[in-house]
C-alpha cells in the first residue's frame, strides 16, 4: 500500500537482530570435536572439586605442553606462576613484544561449598558430627539429604601435608547433612522463609555412629572411635583440624543430561567451565601475535578479597616477574602494559529458566544454546559495583567473534531491579584495561548440580582461541 520497493521479509532479515541457536552452526565434523571437548571437560570437573585441585590439575595439564614454573626456569616464553596452590598465572609469549599488547583471560577456580570449622568434630545423641561454615552464595536447603564428599589438606606444624579425598570412589563412604522429616516440619520449617528454615549452624555433617568400646563409662566414645580412625589413616589428632583447609562438596561425577545428551550437569561449573576453556585455549591457540595471559583466581565467590583473590596485587606479581625475565626494566612498563591490555573476565551468566522467566528481561537475557555470552557490565540495580566495557571494545569483539563464526550473544544478569552479581571484571578494569565479561549461560548456578550446554561451552572455547589469536 505504501509502494515500498524492498521486500518486507528481506528487509527484516537485513535490519533486525535475531538470536542464533549454536546447534544450527555445528556440523558433523564439529560435533566430534565438541563431544571430545565436553568429555575432557567433564573429566576435569570430576578431578577438580576444590580450588587447590583445579590449580594442581591445571599445572599437570600445562607441563607436557612445555610450560614451566616461572620460579624454576630462566625461560620466559611459556611459564606459569603458582601462588599458594590456589591462584595461577599462565603466560605465553606472542610473536610481538609484551609491550605491544597483552590479551588476558581471567576465570575463577573457587565454587560455593561448605568448609569444616577449625573445631569441627563432636558427638551428639551418640552420632558423630562435623560442623561447617558455608562459603559463597548457597541456597542452604540444596545441600541437605544428599551424598557429600570431603576434599582438603591438613598441614602439620612440621610442614608435612596430608591430602584427604573421601567419597568420590564408589567403594568409599560419603557424608550427609540430614534434613527434618516432613511429618515434623510443619512448625519448625514449613511456615518459615526459605532463607531461614535451615540455619547455618544446622549444616552439620554426619560422619559416624559406632562406639570405640562398649565401656559406657568412656566419655565421647563415639567421637573417640572416629578420631582413632582418622589418626590411623591420616595421622591426625583433633588439634590438627586447626591447620587444615577441608571442604565438603557434592559427591559424584558430572553427567550428561537429556535423551540427546546435549547438556552437562555437575558441581562447580561456575566457574570451572571458563577455567577449563581458558587453560585449554592458551595451549591450543596456534599462532599468537600478542602475548597471552590466563589468570585462574581464587576467592571470587566471597568478593575476590584475600591473597589469592583478584582484589590483590597478584596480576602485578605475575606480569612484573615476566618483565624482569624479559629484561624490561622501564619503571613505567608494567602500568602501560596493563592499561593497554584487553581482557575477557570469563565467568558464567544466568541462563533464562523456562519456569522462572519473570526474573529475566527476555530481550537482554542469556539463553542456553545461544552460544558464548558477553555482559557489557555486571553489578546490580543501576549498574552499581560494576565496570562497563566501552563500545569500542565491544565492537572489536563483535568483529573477532563474527569473523570466526563464533555463535555468541550479550546479556544482563536478570531484570534491572531484580538483583545481579559482581565478577572479577572490575578488579581488572582498575588497571585501566579494556575488560568485558565473557562466559556461558548456566541454569541453577551455585546449586550442587549446575547445568550448561555442550554447544555453548565449545563455542566459548573457540571464542577464547579467536580472541587470543587476534
In the set 270, 342, 450, 470, which binds Mn ion (CB under 5 A)? Answer: 270
CB closer to Mn ion out of 120 and 421 = 421
Q: Please identify, among the stretches 142-150, 265-273, 374-382, 396-404, the one whose residues bind Mn ion according to the rule CB under 5 A.
A: 265-273
Output the smallest distance, CB 464 to Mn ion, in A.
16
By rule CB under 5 A, what count of residues binds Mn ion?
3
51 binds Mn ion (CB under 5 A): no
- Shortest reach from residue 137's CB to Mn ion, in Å: 7
The distance of closest approach from Cβ of residue 108 to Mn ion in the complex, given in angstroms and rounded to an integer, is 6
What 3 state SS string does the chain have?
A: CCCCCCCHHHHHHHHCCCCCCHHHHCCHHHHHHHHHHHHHHHHHHHHCCCHHHHHHHHHHHHHHHCCEEHHHCCCCCEEEEEECCCEEEEEECCCCCHHHCEEEEEEECCCCEEEEEEEEEEEECCEEEEEEEEECCCCHHHHCCCCEEEEEEEECCCCCEEEEEECCCCCCCCEECCCCCHHHHHHHHHCCCCCCCCCHHHCEEEEECCCCCCCCCCCCHHHHHHHHHHHHHHCCCHHHHHHEEEEEEECCCCEEECCCCCEEEECCHHHHHHHHHHHHHHHHCCCCCCEEEEEEECCHHHCCCCCCCCCCCHHHHHHHHHHHHCCCCCCCHHHHHHHCCEEEECCCEEECCCCCHHHCCHHHCECCCCCEEEECECEECCCECCCECCHHHHHHHHHHHHHCCCCEEECCCCCCCCCEECCCHHHHHCCCCEEEEEECEEECCCCCCEEEEHHHHHHHHHHHHHHHHC
Pick between residue 111 and residue 225 the one whose CB is nearest to Mn ion: 111
Beta carbon nearer to Mn ion, 436 or 469: 436
DSSP β-ladder status, 148-155 and 161-166 = antiparallel
CB-nearer residue toward Mn ion: 423 or 434 = 423
Closest to Mn ion by CB, 208 or 439: 439
CB of 49 to Mn ion, least distance (A): 15
- Residue number, 123 or 456, with CB nearest to Mn ion: 456
Stretch that binds Mn ion, among 47-55, 264-272, 378-386, 402-410 (CB under 5 A): 264-272
Q: How far is the CB of 466 from Mn ion (least distance, A)?
A: 22
Smallest gap from Cβ 421 to Mn ion, in A, equals: 7
- Pattern 305-344, Mn ion, x by CB under 5 A: ----------------------------------------
Q: Report the residue number, 300 or 470, with the smaller CB distance to Mn ion.
A: 300
As measured in angstroms, the least distance from the Cβ of 431 to Mn ion is 20
Q: Count the neighbouring beta carbons within 10 Å of the beta carbon of residue 172.
A: 12
Least gap, CB of 436 to Mn ion (angstroms): 15
> Could you tell me the smallest distance in angstroms from the CB atom of residue 445 to Mn ion?
6
Q: Identify which of residues 143 and 222 has a Cβ nearer to Mn ion in the complex.
A: 143
Residue with smaller CB distance to Mn ion, 322 or 413: 413
Q: What are phi and psi of 37, to 5 degrees?
A: -60, -50
- Interface pick for Mn ion out of 347, 437, 450, 470 (rule CB under 5 A): 347
* Choices 271-279, 309-317, 370-378, 391-399 (CB under 5 A): range interacting with Mn ion: 271-279
- Record the cell numbers describing residue 84, joined without a space: 599458594
Among 53, 110, 123, 271, binds Mn ion (CB under 5 A): 271
Q: Distance of alpha carbon 85 from its chain centroid, rounded?
A: 16
- Report the residue number, 271 or 298, with the smaller CB distance to Mn ion: 271
Least Å distance, CB 89 to Mn ion, is: 19
Binding site for Mn ion (CB under 5 A): 270-271, 347
Amino acid at each position: 500500500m505504501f509502494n515500498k520497493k524492498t521486500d518486507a521479509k528481506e528487509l527484516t532479515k537485513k535490519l533486525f537482530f535475531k538470536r542464533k541457536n549454536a546447534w544450527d552452526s555445528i556440523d558433523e565434523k564439529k560435533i566430534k570435536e565438541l563431544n571430545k571437548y565436553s568429555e575432557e571437560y567433564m573429566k576435569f570437573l570430576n578431578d577438580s572439586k576444590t580450588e587447590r585441585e583445579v590449580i594442581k590439575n591445571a599445572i599437570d595439564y600445562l607441563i607436557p605442553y612445555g610450560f614451566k614454573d616461572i620460579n624454576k626456569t630462566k625461560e620466559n616464553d611459556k611459564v606459569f606462576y603458582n601462588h599458594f596452590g590456589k591462584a595461577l598465572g599462565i603466560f605465553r609469549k606472542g610473536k610481538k613484544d609484551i609491550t605491544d599488547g597483552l590479551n588476558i583471560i581471567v576465570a575463577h577456580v573457587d565454587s560455593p561449598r561448605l568448609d569444616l570449622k577449625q573445631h569441627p568434630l563432636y558427638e551428639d545423641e551418640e552420632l558423630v558430627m562435623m560442623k561447617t561454615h558455608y562459603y559463597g552464595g548457597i541456597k542452604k536447603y540444596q545441600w541437605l539429604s544428599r551424598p557429600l564428599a570431603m576434599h582438603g589438606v591438613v598441614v602439620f606444624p612440621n610442614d608435612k601435608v596430608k591430602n584427604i579425598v573421601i567419597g568420590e570412589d564408589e567403594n568409599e563412604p560419603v557424608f550427609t547433612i540430614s534434613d527434618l522429616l516432613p511429618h515434623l516440619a510443619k512448625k519448625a520449617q514449613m511456615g518459615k522463609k526459605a532463607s531461614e528454615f535451615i540455619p547455618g549452624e544446622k549444616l552439620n555433617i554426619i560422619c559416624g555412629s559406632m562406639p570405640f568400646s562398649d565401656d559406657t563409662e568412656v566419655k565421647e566414645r563415639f567421637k573417640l572411635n572416629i578420631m582413632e580412625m582418622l589418626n590411623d589413616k591420616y595421622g591426625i589428632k583433633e588439634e590438627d583440624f586447626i591447620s587444615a583447609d577441608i571442604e565438603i562438596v557434592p559427591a559424584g561425577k558430572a553427567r550428561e543430561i537429556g535423551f540427546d545428551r546435549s547438556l552437562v550437569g555437575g558441581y562447580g561449573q561456575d566457574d570451572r567451565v571458563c577455567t577449563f576453556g581458558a587453560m585449554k585455549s592458551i595451549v591450543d591457540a596456534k599462532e599468537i601475535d600478542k602475548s597471552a595471559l590466563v589468570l585462574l583466581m581464587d576467592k571470587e565467590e566471597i568478593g575476590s578479597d584475600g591473597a589469592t583473590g583478584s582484589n590483590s596485587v597478584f596480576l602485578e606479581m605475575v606480569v612484573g616477574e615476566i618483565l624482569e625475565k624479559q629484561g624490561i626494566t622501564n619503571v613505567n612498563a608494567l602500568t602501560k602494559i596493563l592499561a593497554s591490555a584487553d581482557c575477557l573476565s570469563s565467568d558464567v551468566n544466568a541462563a533464562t529458566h523456562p519456569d522462572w522467566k519473570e526474573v529475566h528481561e527476555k530481550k537482554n537475557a542469556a539463553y542456553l544454546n545461544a552460544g558464548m555470552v558477553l555482559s557489557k557490565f555486571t553489578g546490580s540495580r543501576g549498574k552499581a559495583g560494576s565496570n562497563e566495557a566501552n563500545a569500542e571494545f565491544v565492537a572489536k569483539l563483535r568483529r573477532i567473534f563474527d569473523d570466526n563464526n563464533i555463535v555468541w550473544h550479550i546479556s544482563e544478569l536478570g531484570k534491572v531491579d531484580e538483583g545481579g552479581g559482581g565478577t572479577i571484571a572490575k578488579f581488572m578494569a582498575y588497571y585501566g584495561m579494556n575488560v568485558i565479561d565473557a562466559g556461558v549461560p548456566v541454569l541453577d548456578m551455585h546449586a550442587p548440580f549446575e547445568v550448561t550446554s555442550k554447544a555453548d561451552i565449545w563455542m566459548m572455547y573457540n571464542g577464547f582461541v579467536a580472541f587470543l589469536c587476534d
